[in-house]
Structure 1
Amino acid sequence: MTLSRRVVLGGGIAAGTTLFVPALAARADDFDKPFTGFAPPSTVLREGTPASVGLDPAPIEAAKGQLLAHQDGPAGGRPMYAGHVGLMAHDGVVVATQTGGYAVRYRTATEELPEADRVPMRRDTIFDLASVSKLFTSIAVVQLIEEGRVQLEAAVADYLPEFASAGKSGVTIRHLLTHTSGFTAWLPLYSRYPDKESRIAAVMNQPLTNQEGTVYRYSDLNLIALGVLVERLRGQSLDEVVSSRLTEPLGMIDTGYNPAARERTAATEYQAVPARGMVRGEVHDENAWSLDGVAGHAGVFSTADDLAVLAQALLNGGTYRGARVLDRKSVALLITNFTEDFPGDDHGLGFELNQTWYMDALSGPRTAGHTGYTGTSLVIDFQSRSFATLLTNRVHPSRSWGSNNPARRDWAGGLGRALPITPRGSHVAWETEARHASNAILAVPLAVPGAGARLGFDLVAETEATDVLRVETSPDGVVWTLVPLDIRHPGDTREGADDGSVSGTPGERRWALVRAELPAATRHLRWRYTTDANTLGRGVGASRIRVVGRGGVIVDSDSTTDAFAASGWSMSRRQ
């Protein structure tokens, strides 16, 4: 594969569901040329560099620095986490790893260990994945669907008769996998009930808070019930099922429940209630702990390298090193959005989709992943055949110290921004920089004649709804007016008119053709991209900018580059 070099010159499915069906893969060189199918099943991970697969190393190096900064914390403040292990891969190549801090740093919730007694973080440190465990349970359920032993739209009570109690006979397998069952978000099973049997019975007997299918509400109870279903149909415990049908075939030797290698695990929280002390080598989640460490919603421990194998197996369409754990259609089910009625809560079967709040610049309709309460996250982007894993022990020593969402975004976003946006042909391109709460402006002076002029440019935009690109003109540089835009994608029969602003386009990874009419007496033209303080998408790129009047070309971004003034935009040229 020949890639361009980026040179920085300046600053049983429900009716109506659309199923992602694997297609023949198109070779994807850049962010703006997404793959359309799975990776070759023979793809095996190997170590490499960003440059070896055409990635820009600068955003990745920046992400590494950000992880270290979060770990150090602000001056006089608390660190975001005691330690971390991060891994990025693209097109079958591990392009970056980052390890820092400590697997064990604290003795209690307020007391640090002496330096000599701390346990440094290592690449093979084993982490409590917390809710990332839900992906393992979901895969176990989809394996049953693949075998025809479970129907996606069948009632859960068809397989667990006791589940029908308290008005739940209409809840289906799909409802549980997509968090649309109507269950309450959480119950204190560990403290309210005396033993494992009564805790499971409490889930089965729990009434719905809302009618099934009417709300999206993330709930541990959904996956606890599915874990019981897997055990009932397989005649094995959930840990045995996951081991024999998923982790062992894939060679994930450090992944499972109740890890034996306690000395390699990262500590989580110091718990006074219940009186567990510093939790290490046992599941942090109290409900999973009260279920002997094996539950559908939590309990899996793993390493960054083992999760990399799982991610690549899914990118390969369900297989790795000759071991097939799912067929391609089953993987397609996992990443099909079944919650289109709940915008913003896109969800496949177990997998969350298109969640900018932790996927950042990798977000898109075919970006799947999950987070874990202990500070873990996995983001798999099928459009670029990339994934980013970040494992931290952010609850060590206390869950009250805050969230590591900024680190999750920085890590996934660093990989997303490393994928080059390449202009079509040998043209200059301008791209917005990754800045929060900013107002990035690309401006050029004009002298539009009385007859007016036409603006044309190529646009690629991958933004969240609250980050907005505005194309504006002004006669004096003081009063600015939006320019109505005609936006079209090559090969797409749809036509799109816009009021002059563009936002809310996650996953829109292709160049569009933009045309507009500029009024007479226009003296200034600008592209203004405004971001908020929350999350970022990839941003905006513009290329082949031309303003043409009746007398000829007024502005051409390729030949009059020096005429453009940029703040918060960087320029690149295809080489």
Structure 2
Amino acid sequence: MPPLEHPCERWGPVLPARSREPRGGELSTSKLRPGTPERAGLDPGELKRLVHEVQELTTGDRPWAPGAVVVAGRGPVITVAEAAGWAVRYSAHDPATDRGVELPPERRVPMTVGTPFDLASLTKLFTAVAAVQQIERGTLGIDARVGAYLPDFGAAARHGVTVRQLLTHTSGLRPDLPLYDCPDDASRSALLRAEAPVGPPGTYVYSDLNFLLLQHLLERLTGRGLDVLVRDGITRPLGMTATRFGPCPGAAATEDQRRPWAKADRGMLRGEVHDENARALGGVAGHAGLFSTGRDLAVFCRTLLAGGAYGPARILGTDFVELLLTPPGLGFAVDQPWFMGELAGRGAAGHTGFTGTSLVLDPATDTFLVLLANTVHPRRRPPDSGPRAAAATRLARAVRAA
């Protein structure tokens, strides 16, 4: 596999399909509620270790992240909802010392369970759900050619790229394009429309461009913006009131974005989308741009574990949730130990985001884990998903030890 633009977000090789066990939450659409580990059938000792290890990630002079939020549970029971560290710790990055410039304690902003985060590539999951909603309605064909909906995207049309290939990163499109360097919307659009696959369709290359094309397709098909499709089709019916495209002024800070380590010179970011291309596109993009909280993402996970319903709301039919999560997954990565740890292996699904966000839902055990962190504050570092995998392993062991 060729190197990827954001290696911390890669899926790894596409795994072969394997049979799935029935989801534990399929018969229940109960809303989430706090409860004890014992009530959820989880081992309290393992969950205590999970929380302690997440707290440790935010300590020291060079923490994995200045702050983090972890929310986890089983079935409709939230057994962990904890925050650690700082939503805002630094005023800038000092390239001379390669360290963050610490804010005085009175100006730092503590992390809370309700702190919103820039989700980065977790946005792709919402775009994928919006696409599968159209497939369920019969207005979009999963194996239809993109050119049937976007004939003006000539390169993709000529190469026969399909909707399924966009959703599974097998279109052959390269990982990224410098849309942020284009002078205006017209030139950005022209660059995207002319982009041809760098490999034959069917070639796996993790690519933001897949979800930018999918956004254009959905907007052309429905006559509505992606932000409206996500709001009306997902977040509003589920009561996810903290999930929206930015700006989001109270969010955890991300990066002191400056060249040469970034692709733009914007200074310390808080509440503005971190992804340079998403920012160039006005903050609403198929691959990045959403902000959300741990609790809202727990609702999203619970909905999918319950077969597409949450309380009285239904956003997808059970068969279409199955389509979404069956290997290799549509938008979702499936069974990837590099960030799912020991939860991987029987159909666990999830994703990571470049800013430090991740979620995993495991239909086999009816469990979910949301780990949100601002790992790019005050500047991006080489990716390290070891802590994500370790947290997921703690949850898997909590199931087995109960």
| TM-score normalized by the length of structure 1 | 0.63
1:256 and 2:244 correspond: yes
What is the DSSP-based 3-state SS (H/G/I as helix, E as strand, rest coil) of the residue aligned with 2:153?
Answer: helix
1:414 and 2:394 correspond: yes
1:47 and 2:58 correspond: no
Paired residue type of 1:243: R
Residue 12 of structure 2: aligned partner: none
Report how many residues are paired. 377
Q: Deviation string for 1:134-188 (max 9, x for gaps)?
A: 0010011101101111101110010011223266441100000000000111122
Check the 8 A contact 2:42/2:401 in 1, yes or no: no
Q: How far apart are residue 385 of structure 1 and its match?
A: 0.5
Q: How far apart are residue 19 of structure 1 and its match?
A: 8.9
Task: Assess, with a 3 A threshold, how the Cα gap between structure 1 residues 279 and 168 changes in structure 2: closer, same or farther.
Answer: farther
1:268 and 2:254 correspond: yes
Residue 139 of structure 2: aligned partner: 149
Paired residue type of 2:195: Q
Q: Aligned equivalents of 1:45 and 1:307: distance in 2?
A: 11
Task: Name which of structure 1's ranges 391-400 and 195-204 shifts more when overlaid on structure 2.
Answer: 195-204
What is the DSSP-based 3-state SS (H/G/I as helix, E as strand, rest coil) of the residue aligned with 2:368?
Answer: strand
Q: How does 1:532-543 map to 2 (within 5 A)?
A: none
1:163 and 2:134 correspond: no
Residue 5 of structure 2: aligned partner: none
Paired residue type of 1:55: L
Paired residue type of 1:239: D
2:229 to 238, 241, 249: 241
Check the 8 A contact 1:269/1:399 in 2, yes or no: yes
Q: How far apart are residue 41 of structure 1 and its match?
A: 3.9
Residue 99 of structure 1: aligned partner: 83
What is the DSSP-based 3-state SS (H/G/I as helix, E as strand, rest coil) of the residue aligned with 1:116?
Answer: helix
Q: Aligned equivalents of 1:189 and 1:323: distance in 2?
A: 37
Q: Deviation string for 1:19-69 (max 9, x for gaps)?
A: 978xxxxxxxxxxxx655643243211101112222111221112111122
1:219 and 2:207 correspond: yes
When you count strand as a share of all residues, which structure comes out higher?
1
Q: Aligned equivalents of 2:206 and 2:88: distance in 1?
A: 31
- Structure 1 vs Structure 2 CA RMSD: 1.8
1:308 and 2:289 correspond: no
Q: Aligned equivalents of 1:194 and 1:144: distance in 2?
A: 33
Paired residue type of 1:315: L
Q: Aligned equivalents of 1:166 and 1:72: distance in 2?
A: 47
The structure with the larger Rg is 1
Paired residue type of 2:49: A
Paired residue type of 1:412: A
| TM-score normalized by the length of structure 2 | 0.90
Q: Deviation string for 1:524-561 (max 9, x for gaps)?
A: xxxxxxxxxxxxxxxxxxxxxxxxxxxxxxxxxxxxxx
What is the DSSP-based 3-state SS (H/G/I as helix, E as strand, rest coil) of the residue aligned with 2:230?
Answer: helix
Check the 8 A contact 1:44/1:320 in 2, yes or no: yes
What is the DSSP-based 3-state SS (H/G/I as helix, E as strand, rest coil) of the residue aligned with 1:139?
Answer: helix
Q: Aligned equivalents of 2:139 and 2:211: distance in 1?
A: 18
Residue 399 of structure 1: aligned partner: 380
Paired residue type of 1:310: F
Task: Assess, with a 3 A threshold, how the Cα gap between structure 1 residues 365 and 179 changes in structure 2: closer, same or farther.
Answer: farther
Check the 8 A contact 2:124/2:286 in 1, yes or no: yes
When you count helix as a share of all residues, which structure comes out higher?
2
1:108 to 89, 92, 105: 92
What is the DSSP-based 3-state SS (H/G/I as helix, E as strand, rest coil) of the residue aligned with 1:111?
Answer: strand
Task: Assess, with a 3 A threshold, how the Cα gap between structure 1 residues 111 and 135 changes in structure 2: closer, same or farther.
Answer: same
Residue 97 of structure 2: aligned partner: none
* Higher RCO (C-alpha under 8 Å, 6+ residues apart): 2
Q: Aligned equivalents of 1:219 and 1:368: distance in 2?
A: 18
Q: How does 1:45-444 map to 2 (within 5 A)?
A: 45-73=32-60, 77-109=61-93, 110-165=100-155, 168-191=158-181, 193-213=182-202, 215-260=203-248, 262=249, 264-273=250-259, 274-337=264-327, 347-400=328-381, 402-420=382-400
Paired residue type of 2:146: V
Q: Deviation string for 1:67-119 (max 9, x for gaps)?
A: 1222114xxx5111010000011121101122111111100013111100000
Check the 8 A contact 2:146/2:157 in 1, yes or no: no
Unpaired stretches in structure 1, ≥5 consecutive residues: 1-16, 22-33, 338-346, 423-575
Check the 8 A contact 1:359/1:413 in 2, yes or no: yes
Q: Aligned equivalents of 2:337 and 2:101: distance in 1?
A: 35
Check the 8 A contact 2:359/2:370 in 1, yes or no: yes
Identical pairs, percent: 46
Q: Deviation string for 1:210-234 (max 9, x for gaps)?
A: 0101x21100000010011111111
What is the DSSP-based 3-state SS (H/G/I as helix, E as strand, rest coil) of the residue aligned with 1:414?
Answer: helix
What is the DSSP-based 3-state SS (H/G/I as helix, E as strand, rest coil) of the residue aligned with 1:162?
Answer: coil
Q: Aligned equivalents of 1:69 and 1:257: distance in 2?
A: 30
What is the DSSP-based 3-state SS (H/G/I as helix, E as strand, rest coil) of the residue aligned with 1:297?
Answer: coil
Check the 8 A contact 1:20/1:335 in 2, yes or no: no
Displaced runs of 4 or more, over 3 A: 17-21, 34-38, 166-169
Q: How does 1:440-451 map to 2 (within 5 A)?
A: none
